[in-house]
Amino acid sequence: MNTMDNLTNTLFAGCRIIKKIGQGGMGTVYTARHETLDKVFCIKLLSSELARDQRNIDFFLREARSAAKLDHPNIVQVSNFGQENGFYFIVMSYVEGKTLSELVTEKGRLALEEATGIIIGVLEGLAHAHSKGIIHRDIKPSNILIGLDGVPRIVDFGLARSISDDKQLTMAGETVGTAYFMSPEQGLAGTVDNRSDLYCAGATYFYILTGRFPFDGRNSIEVIHKHISDPFPNIQLINPDVPLGVSHILEKAMRKKPENRYQSARELIDDLKKCGDTGGQQRSALEKSFDIPEITAYMRVPLPPPRAASLEKTDPSRADLSARAATGPRQSSRPAAAGKIKIQPVVIYTSVKILVHCALALAATGCFVISGASGKVAGSLRSPFLANPVTAGFFAVLGAALFVFTIATKPLKFTLQHAFLLAIAAAAAYAGGAYIPAPETADTLTKAFLALKISLMNAIFSSNTLIYALFLYLTASKIMFRENWILKTAAIAAYVLSLFLTYTYFAGGLALAPEKIYMEAAGALTLVGVIAGLTVTRFYLFFNPPFFFLAAHIMLFAMFTNPIVSTITDEKTQAFTLRASQEHSMAMERYHRMALAAENEQQYDVEGRPLDTKLPPPPEETKPPERQEFYNAAKAQYYTQIRLNIRHNLADSAGIIFIAFFLMLMADACFLEEMLTAYRMRD
């Protein structure tokens, strides 16, 4: 039997093989000349190893049958297939040219008119295939050939499926397609129809317009997850030349739910043609164009070739025959344009979004303060909704809506950390308004402004020291694992400052000497935390700077707690001993009186004989319980006292408002981090 690499001059269905032109997971592609027609064709052969599995043969022959049913200028035509010379083969028309993936790798992102013309041709081919009941299921740039005539042609129907085909070749739960261009329902191994092909076509359109994948990740699982859950990226941040109308078309084509997308390829084609004559040059009526020469020159510089798609199909046996990896390191996205660029629209856009987010978060926090301040009883969280439900409810709903708007402005939309910080900030702001010490006769706005005034006046109040220590610790933990040495140094400084503030808070007014062993332990943990902070750049379970500094805080707390608890224990022990001694003295006094009375009053029986009266034993002094019981009671008393002190101090100084403010700032920091990441990805 001939080998796959030595088939030159072998005949298949009247076509004599000339040379090998491609290699893939399912076999090899050759050029061949038909001896009768004297015409060049392509022959695709299934590899001998895969032919041992009937399932692979079924996939291969289904591709042939599916493509043979189609006759369209935008689809590579299959003219024959079968088994000959020990190989399963498919004979198809030969297209001289390049794949769309190779074209983008060579030229960078395509011009709008060229990209739109290509994608319309692909959609025309899909419309024909869908009309015949064929779903491709793997539309991507490497499965689209661009001939020398510029006409796009769809190839590789290896994953195609007939709507009327009852034979199930894919196993339950198996995903089909290529991760970078896979629809959400394919990623979920759900039901796939023609709308899935339209999603893949939209992802391909995005890729050739930007030179980037719509969703990227470290592995195929991450990419598929982003297709399923992440919002559609803003293409105009990547390629400002894309009109708003095209952006809207892409967004609709790539919606998560099939029922929300275009329902047919013809519908999508019509919208693309309305947007412009095969190029989409006509802008939306709402758009305005301003020509700033320096910026225009900067934007017109083409992007370098994108990195090659490294993610393979879920089933390696069906890997694309046409895909070829691009080599060489990725270059800078754009060379500097001639002349000095004075205005950067993306920077302005990013800055405005940051300001809008901060303003919305601040306004939402204020709404929750007003909602909490609408009560009549200070310190009651239920009073606002019992005494003034309309005002409390209105501002609570308004604040929640503003927080939702802040989430909508984020590049990543909903993230658990950002949402958690906003939720806690809302609760703290509401509690701050409810706990404000104000007269019951004061109106809602007066109480809200009073809360803000008191919080500002007591910004450096000693009871708020612990709040600053807490948020310095949280901020340092957020930036500790960065590789930037400036941020690392700032994080360590914040940790040390938080320890100092914790020490100051618990040491204030304390006359007792702290236990040195805890001070030494706190110092040792701080030193280890500094070393860990300077060396690690990612999270470790054991050698973790936040854990060491948290343990140092606990040592400081214990350093001042133990002497106070010991003092309270001694006081409780002395009080118990004194009380027990007094009670014993009183009992002995009663006993002596009873004994004296017994001696003075002799009692006789009925016959006149004297009775022998026995006195009970004298009372014993009550023994004190174990010291551990007093210690546990003293510790509970001390913790209760600390809790009440913190609660009253936060209420009196409006420190809860500070907590809401700091949480809001941390949410803003999360948003800023996402915006900077999105900005760097653009470049």
Q: Tell me, what DSSP letter sits at residue 111?
A: P
Q: What is the DSSP string of 46-100?
A: E-TTGGGSHHHHHHHHHHHHHHHT---TTBPPEEEEEEETTEEEEEEE---EEEH
Check residue 494 and give its pLDDT.
86
Check residue 401 and give its pLDDT.
92
Residue 158 or residue 165, greater confidence: 158
Question: Region 133-141: what's the mean pLDDT?
Answer: 85
**Portion of the chain with pLDDT greater than 70, in percent:** 76
Question: Region 252-272: what's the mean pLDDT?
Answer: 90
Check residue 455 and give its pLDDT.
66
Q: In the structure, what pLDDT confidence band is assigned to residue 394 with cuts at 50, 70 and 90?
A: very high
Q: Give Cβ neighbours of residue 647 (< 8 Å, ≥ 6 apart).
A: none
Whether residue 252 sits in one domain with residue 139: yes
Whether residue 206 sits in one domain with residue 158: yes
Looking at mean pLDDT, say which of 59-73, 399-413, 641-655 comes out highest: 399-413
Check residue 530 and give its pLDDT.
86
Tokens of 472: 């310095």
Whether residue 230 sits in one domain with residue 122: yes
Looking at mean pLDDT, say which of 51-65, 150-164, 219-233, 406-420 comes out highest: 219-233
The count of residues in the chain is: 683
Whether residue 87 sits in one domain with residue 233: no
**Residue 153 pLDDT > 60:** yes
Residue 512 or residue 282, greater confidence: 512
Cβ(236)–Cβ(217) under 8 Å?
A: no
Report yes or no on 169 lying in a domain: no
Whether residue 518 sits in one domain with residue 553: yes
Q: In the structure, what pLDDT confidence band is assigned to residue 349 with cuts at 50, 70 and 90?
A: low
Residue 42 or residue 513, greater confidence: 42
Whether residue 232 sits in one domain with residue 309: yes
3-state secondary structure of 580: helix
For 302-322, b/e burial (b = at least 16 CB within 10 A) is ebbbbbebebebbbebbebbb
Report yes or no on 612 lying in a domain: no
Q: Give Cβ neighbours of residue 315 (< 8 Å, ≥ 6 apart).
A: 174, 176
Question: Region 370-378: what's the mean pLDDT?
Answer: 81
* Cα separation, 466 vs 502, whole angstroms: 6
Cβ(396)–Cβ(382) under 8 Å?
A: no
Q: What is the DSSP string of 327-372?
A: -SPPPPS-PPPSS-----HHHHHHHHHHHHHHHHHHHHHHHHHHHH
Check residue 321 and give its pLDDT.
38
Question: Region 18-24: what's the mean pLDDT?
Answer: 80
Question: Rounded to 10 degrees, what is the CA torsion of 108, 112, 114, 120?
Answer: 120
Catalytic residue chosen out of the listed positions 5, 38, 71, 138: 138
Check residue 340 and give its pLDDT.
42
pLDDT in tens, 494-532: 888 888 888 887 776 555 556 678 888 888 888 888 888
For tokens 């032919």, the residue is 51
Q: How many domains does the chain have?
A: 3
Cβ(209)–Cβ(239) under 8 Å?
A: yes
138 catalytic residue (yes or no): yes
Residue 204 or residue 605, greater confidence: 204
Report yes or no on 657 lying in a domain: no
* Strand ranges for 577-625 from DSSP E: none
* Cα separation, 239 vs 235, whole angstroms: 6
Question: Region 2-20: what's the mean pLDDT?
Answer: 78
Whether residue 101 sits in one domain with residue 89: no
Residue 54 belongs to domain with CATH number: 3.30.200.20
Residue 267 belongs to domain with CATH number: 1.10.510.10
Exposed, middle or buried by CB within 10 Å (0-12, 13-18, 19+), for 20? middle
- Structural domain containing residue 477: 462-597+618-652
Check residue 330 and give its pLDDT.
37
Which amino acid does the sequence have at 659?
I
- What strand order describes the sheet that includes 152-154? 97-99, 144-147, 152-154
Whether residue 116 sits in one domain with residue 88: no
**Portion of the chain with pLDDT greater than 90, in percent:** 7
Check residue 650 and give its pLDDT.
63
Q: In the structure, what pLDDT confidence band is assigned to residue 653 with cuts at 50, 70 and 90?
A: low
Residue 289 or residue 16, greater confidence: 16
Cβ(12)–Cβ(91) under 8 Å?
A: yes
Q: In the structure, what pLDDT confidence band is assigned to residue 71 with cuts at 50, 70 and 90?
A: confident
3-state secondary structure of 148: coil
Task: Report CA 156 to chain centroid distance, whole Å.
Answer: 35
Report yes or no on 414 lying in a domain: no
Report yes or no on 489 lying in a domain: yes
Q: In the structure, what pLDDT confidence band is assigned to residue 166 with cuts at 50, 70 and 90?
A: very low
3-state secondary structure of 152: strand
* Cα separation, 559 vs 568, whole angstroms: 15
**Residue 41 pLDDT > 80:** yes
* Cα separation, 422 vs 434, whole angstroms: 18
Check residue 147 and give its pLDDT.
86
Cβ(297)–Cβ(337) under 8 Å?
A: yes
Question: Rounded to 10 degrees, what is the CA torsion of 583, 587, 588, 592?
Answer: 150
Whether residue 586 sits in one domain with residue 478: yes
Check residue 569 and give its pLDDT.
86
Check residue 628 and give its pLDDT.
82
Check residue 208 and give its pLDDT.
92
Other CB atoms within 10 A of residue 330 CB: 10
pLDDT in tens, 429-478: 888 788 776 666 677 777 777 767 766 666 565 566 777 787 788 888 87
Report yes or no on 480 lying in a domain: yes
What's the mean pLDDT when you consider all of the chain? 76
Report yes or no on 184 lying in a domain: yes
Check residue 679 and give its pLDDT.
61
pTM reported for the whole predicted model: 0.44
List, in sequence order, every residue forming a beta bridge with 15; answer none if it has no partner.
12, 34
Question: Region 647-676: what's the mean pLDDT?
Answer: 75
Which amino acid does the sequence have at 307?
R
Report yes or no on 403 lying in a domain: no
Whether residue 272 sits in one domain with residue 184: yes
Whether residue 37 sits in one domain with residue 120: no
The least confident of 10-14, 397-401, 461-465, 595-599 is 461-465
3-state secondary structure of 255: coil
The least confident of 26-30, 317-321, 562-566, 651-655 is 317-321
Check residue 636 and give its pLDDT.
84
The least confident of 306-315, 373-382, 477-486 is 306-315
3-state secondary structure of 144: strand
Looking at mean pLDDT, say which of 381-390, 405-414, 607-616 comes out highest: 381-390
Check residue 315 and give its pLDDT.
41
Please report, for residues 29, 137, 156, 177, 549, the alpha-carbon distance to residue 313 in angstroms, rounded to integers and kept in the order given. Answer: 19, 12, 13, 6, 46
Question: Region 265-291: what's the mean pLDDT?
Answer: 62
Looking at mean pLDDT, say which of 313-317, 377-381, 422-426 comes out highest: 422-426
**Residue 621 pLDDT > 90:** no
Nearest CA-CA partner of 362 in 651, 667, 670: 667
The least confident of 88-92, 170-174, 412-416, 506-510 is 170-174
Whether residue 217 sits in one domain with residue 77: no
